[in-house]
């Protein structure tokens, strides 16, 4: 029986991905800042552990409790929507601590066991914002673009040890982390000078379109985790697939 460790499972993509892997017969270690085991199936194949990816001691404790794992899914992330001019550098650092350095720290922590066994897969969840420029998400996009480059390079580096490294790029969906965990950090990030422009952007976002569902992302993560080819990118959702094709 294979084991997957997934970060950011309290809602959205992470929660659905944990449910999906469990439904496929895997042992699942679902992590979140504040454990809520009631969200997931009660099963001997499901463990819910507390994890803060910005704290080394938290990462070490989770990996010690988890034992050997076969797949790491770096899904935990923070969303941000606002004008870059109005975004405090402290907020930018906060995003990078979770979206970028948290992913790197988790990955670095599991690599010794993957390399020693010459097996294992790291799946990093980014965003379709990396596939085409989008307004008012400059900081968020930067934090995810960093992981795109990191993942592409690492895939080459670890191929020599038979360790897979993959990207899942979810498209736009109303239930994404922007609305789930943007929270108070978004307050004041649309100053008056940007108000009219922001309204036009929000109107475009509100247009009926192919919305990415949580199941789209869970299925893409599953495909990535089980892929033995050299394919790096797995867009998730019709809009992400279209953007990926347009990007070539």
Is residue 168 packed enough to be buried (19+ CB in 10 Å), middle (13-18) or exposed (0-12)?
buried
140 is catalytic: yes
247 neighbors 132 (Cβ within 8 angstroms): yes
d(Cα 176, Cα 12) in Å, to the nearest integer? 7
d(Cα 218, Cα 236) in Å, to the nearest integer? 9
Q: Which two tokens stand for residue 95?
A: 């995003």
Task: Tell me the CA distances in angstroms from 50 to 56, 66, 218, one per residue in order.
Answer: 13, 12, 21
d(Cα 111, Cα 103) in Å, to the nearest integer? 12
Alpha helices in the chain (DSSP H): 12-23, 56-66, 89-96, 103-117, 138-159, 177-181, 195-205, 214-225, 238-247
What is the distance, to the nearest Å, from the Cα of residue 213 to the centroid of all Cα atoms in its chain? 14
Task: Tell me the CA distances in angstroms from 175 to 8, 26, 51, 68, one per residue in order.
Answer: 14, 26, 22, 32
3-state helix, strand, coil in the chain (%, to 5): 50, 15, 35
Backbone CA torsion sign across 15, 28, 131, 105: positive
Which of the residues 13, 20, 140, 194 is marked catalytic?
Answer: 140
Residues tagged active-site: 140
């Amino acid at each position: 029986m294979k084991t997957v460790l997934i970060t950011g499972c309290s809602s959205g993509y992470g929660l659905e991905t944990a449910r999906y892997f469990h439904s496929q017969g895997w042992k699942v270690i679902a992590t979140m800042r504040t454990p809520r085991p009631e969200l997931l199936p009660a099963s001997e194949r499901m463990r819910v552990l507390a994890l803060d990816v910005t704290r080394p001691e938290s990462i070490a404790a989770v990996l010690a409790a988890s034992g050997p794992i076969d797949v790491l899914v770096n899904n935990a992330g923070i969303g941000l929507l606002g004008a870059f001019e109005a975004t405090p550098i402290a907020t930018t650092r906060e995003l990078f601590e979770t979206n970028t350095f948290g992913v790197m720290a988790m990955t670095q922590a599991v690599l010794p066991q993957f390399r020693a066994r010459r097996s294992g897969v790291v799946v990093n969840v980014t965003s379709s914002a990396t596939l085409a420029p989008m307004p008012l998400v400059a900081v968020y996009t930067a934090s995810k673009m960093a992981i795109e480059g990191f993942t592409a390079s690492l895939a080459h580096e670890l191929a020599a040890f038979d360790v897979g490294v993959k990207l899942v790029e979810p498209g736009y969906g109303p239930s994404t982390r922007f609305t789930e965990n943007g929270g108070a950090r978004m307050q004041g990030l649309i100053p008056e000078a940007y108000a009219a422009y922001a309204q036009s952007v929000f109107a475009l976002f509100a247009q009926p379109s192919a919305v990415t569902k949580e199941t789209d992302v869970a299925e893409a993560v599953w495909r990535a985790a089980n892929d033995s080819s050299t394919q790096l990118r797995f867009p998730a959702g019709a809009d992400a697939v279209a953007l990926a094709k347009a990007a070539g």
